[in-house]
Structure 1
């Protein structure tokens, strides 16, 4: 039995950078520099993700999934949820002007 999920989310979803910063890095005792080195990317790239100023790309999702042993879909779903919520907040006024169509 499926659980309907049609209600609007009231609170902001967790950004993948926050999840990395608060959950993954402490558990694995990682610092920004060591994580960047392990992922083969620049420290600036990791810093921007951690500060929630950069999105997790598909390539980064593959790197993170390899490093932490989870799926790339996990990282992309977290990013996707955050992007949709952020866009809905940003374009709320414009979206409210669109009238839904009714099927004939």
Structure 2
């Protein structure tokens, strides 16, 4: 059993575009075009992802996992963390108004 994170994150999790841009592309010597070609998607799709204007889809996670030798869950879990953070920030006041139920 893991230790629950009750404090909450103070900052937004790193977007997958930044991870790709700062870590994966330089380490593998890839460009936007070579990455797009290697995984069979448009250059525009990769560019939007790297500029953090696009989220990683399950299909993209499968492609990236195959190319880089990791798991689709790696990519999707990182995307989920960003999505949850964004939703929590957008709905903070609304969520705070919800009263938790006590178990019967």
Give the superposed CA RMSD.
1.1
TM-score, scaled relative to structure 1 = 0.94
Question: Between Structure 1 and Structure 2, how many residues are aligned?
Answer: 104
Instruction: Report what 1:16 is aligned to.
Output: 16
Counterpart-to-counterpart distance in 1, 2:89 and 2:52: 16
Alignment of 1:1-104 (within 5 A): 2-104=2-104
Local SS of the residue matching 2:60:
helix
Runs of 4+ in 1 over 3 A off after TM superposition: none
Counterpart-to-counterpart distance in 2, 1:11 and 1:30: 29
Unaligned runs of 5+ in 2: none
Unaligned runs of 5+ in 1: none
